[in-house]
């Protein structure tokens, strides 16, 4: 993949509440996409609701007890990986659909970066043209690795 925009210094966006999944993707994608192409909290909520509704439609009356397992987000603003994958798949770079995949140690495509989840927090590792950098919405600034 080639960059659409001129190289820029990574800018870190800070979370104002429990929205680390949204900020992890925004901080990763802002280097590669224009501001109006970045995901929003509203988009994350819409995707989560859409996924939950689709799964609820598959349950019949005997399965209704399983509906508590369908939650794609929490009241704290946390989103699961299914929501993040769907949000990323809605974007393209140089005409190619972006994807968020589980990394198994095999590099088959050029990674723009990684989204890391540990405990109850998401952050990203950006692969810019200059260096790898850690983009954590709770930290003071991007950290070059």
Q: What is the DSSP code (8-state) at residue 6?
A: -
Closest CA to 80 of 16, 14, 17, 22: 22
Task: Write down how long the chain is.
Answer: 145
CA geometry: angle at 43 spanning 37 and 47, to 5°?
125
Res 90: pLDDT:
95
- Torsion sign, CA atoms 85, 88, 90, 94: negative
Which ranges of the chain does DSSP label H, i.e. alpha helix? Answer: 20-29, 41-58, 81-89
The percentage of the chain sitting over the pLDDT mark of 90, rounded to a whole number, equals 11
Separation of alpha carbons 140 and 145, rounded Å: 15
pLDDT in tens, 63-99: 555 555 555 565 555 788 889 999 999 999 889 899 8
Query: Averaged over 99-116, what is the pLDDT?
Result: 77
């Amino acid at each position: 993949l080639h960059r659409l925009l001129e190289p820029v210094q990574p800018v870190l966006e800070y979370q104002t509440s429990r929205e680390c999944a949204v900020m992890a993707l925004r901080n990763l994608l802002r280097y590669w996409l224009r501001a109006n192409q970045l995901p929003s909290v509203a988009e994350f909520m819409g995707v989560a609701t859409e996924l939950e509704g689709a799964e609820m439609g598959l349950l019949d009356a005997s399965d209704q007890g399983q509906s508590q397992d369908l939650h794609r987000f929490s009241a704290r603003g946390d989103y699961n990986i299914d929501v993040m994958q769907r949000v990323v798949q809605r974007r393209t770079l140089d005409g190619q659909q972006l994807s968020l995949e589980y990394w198994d140690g095999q590099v088959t495509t050029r990674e723009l970066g990684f989204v890391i989840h540990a405990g109850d927090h998401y952050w990203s590792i950006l692969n810019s043209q200059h260096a790898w950098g850690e983009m954590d919405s709770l930290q003071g600034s991007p950290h070059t690795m």
